[in-house]
Amino acid sequence: MARSHTGTGAASRGKIGGLLMASPPIIVAAVFVGFPILVAIAYSLGHVGGLNRTIATIARGQHTVAAWDQMSLGAYRDVFTDQRFTHDLGVTIIVTLIATLAVTALAWVIAVYLRTTPEGAWFRSGVAKLISGLAVVPMFIPVVIASWAMLTFYAADGFIRSLCADLGFQGPTWGYTMVCVAIGLVWTNLPFATLMITSGVQSVPDPLIEAARDAGAGLLTIVRTVIAPLTIVPTVIALTFTAIGTLGAFTMPYFTGPNAPSMLGVDMVSYFRSYNRPQQSVVMAVVVFAVAAVFGAFYVWANFRSAKDSGRV
């Protein structure tokens, strides 16, 4: 993308100036993301001196070490022997997987529908316009509002139950259950995934699809052999973003979920604010980071691969 300027003098000036101009957000990210995470990891291992002193003086149930070269896994033992945590960790991972797969599948259906709509078919192009408009609606709505709306819609006196009652049968109550949390997370994550995947699918060249169609391939074959291989990167980006967003979700499960089990986002905040056990809260954060890192590595890999394919690296 960036090419060096003509002449070595200008090039080196551009280099230093570029680095200086680029540094403010890097410094902000280092100070307020990288550094706190390192300090938090130290705290989770029992280091309560230095920058952790203030929080350590007001916390309960801490495990501490005396010297910088020691570490204590006590807080980790606390957390992992707590059945509630292991249960919640499992629930969080399952909800994350279900929501991520559902979002990606739905986004794919929408993207393929939009891509294969022939010009001039009034019914299909009308539907296509409607669907692509609908799929981005959640982006326009703050998560807090969405969560509250989900709860009232699926509650015991919500729309679904009311409709079922009017039709003469007993409907399900999903409010305050993990079902509602999963539905809500699909709802909030749909726009980004749809935009990513639609944009990827749209950029598959027409001649490739037409050639496959001329050769007699059905829709599923075209998707599997032509569209999917060319849309791996946007799909992986959509998958990772959705998974990471879901792992760290607080508002949706807080509003719409049951008291137990709950997702780790909710546990972290209650350990930190309500139970006054920040060290255990930080341990959970570290565990969530570790799970997220697996997804993140996937993303970086996919992006590098695409950069390599197009000769950008």
Q: Out of 166, 207, 216, 229, name the contact with another protein by CB under 8 A.
A: 166
Q: With respect to another protein, which residue has the nearer C-beta, 74 or 138? A: 138
Q: Work out how close the CB of 211 gets to another protein at its nearest, in angstroms, rounded to a whole number.
A: 24
Q: Work out how close the CB of 306 gets to another protein at its nearest, in angstroms, rounded to a whole number.
A: 7
Decide if residue 65 touches another protein (CB under 8 A).
no
Q: Are 111 and 204 spatial neighbours (Cβ–Cβ below 8 Å)? A: no
SS3 206: helix
| Ranges within 247-306 binding another protein (CB under 8 A) | 247-251, 254-255, 264-265, 268-269, 272-273, 278, 281-282, 284-286, 288-289, 292-293, 295-296, 299-300, 303-304, 306
Q: With respect to another protein, which residue has the nearer C-beta, 26 or 260? A: 26
Q: How far apart are CA 75 and CA 78, in angstroms?
A: 5
Q: Are 254 and 266 spatial neighbours (Cβ–Cβ below 8 Å)? A: yes
Q: With respect to another protein, which residue has the nearer C-beta, 211 or 267? A: 267
Q: How far apart are CA 254 and CA 241, in angstroms?
A: 20
Cis status, amide bond into 261, omega within 30 of 0: yes
Query: CA distances (Å), 150 to each of 63, 181, 188, in order?
Result: 40, 9, 10
Q: Out of 66, 94, 97, 144, name the contact with another protein by CB under 8 A.
A: 144
Q: How far apart are CA 173 and CA 164, in angstroms?
A: 11
Q: With respect to another protein, which residue has the nearer C-beta, 178 or 249? A: 249
Q: Work out how close the CB of 87 gets to another protein at its nearest, in angstroms, rounded to a whole number.
A: 18
Residues in the chain: 313
Q: How far apart are CA 48 and CA 42, in angstroms?
A: 8
Q: Work out how close the CB of 243 gets to another protein at its nearest, in angstroms, rounded to a whole number.
A: 9
Query: CA distances (Å), 47 to each of 43, 109, 125, 279, in order?
Result: 5, 50, 61, 10
Q: Out of 79, 146, 222, 223, name the contact with another protein by CB under 8 A.
A: 146
Extract long-range pairs of 64-67: CB within 8 Å, 24+ residues apart: none
Q: Out of 88, 237, 239, 261, name the contact with another protein by CB under 8 A.
A: 237
Task: Give the range of 64-72, 75-83, 186-194, 218-226 binding another protein by CB under 8 A.
Answer: 186-194
Q: Out of 8, 33, 69, 169, name the contact with another protein by CB under 8 A.
A: 33
Task: Give the range of 65-73, 77-85, 152-160, 207-215 binding another protein by CB under 8 A.
Answer: 152-160
Q: With respect to another protein, which residue has the nearer C-beta, 211 or 248? A: 248
| Ranges within 85-114 binding another protein (CB under 8 A) | none
Task: Provide the sign of the torsion angle of the four alpha carbons 33, 38, 42, 44, taken in this order.
Answer: positive
Q: How far apart are CA 63 and CA 86, in angstroms?
A: 20
| Ranges within 117-136 binding another protein (CB under 8 A) | 123, 127, 130-132, 134-136
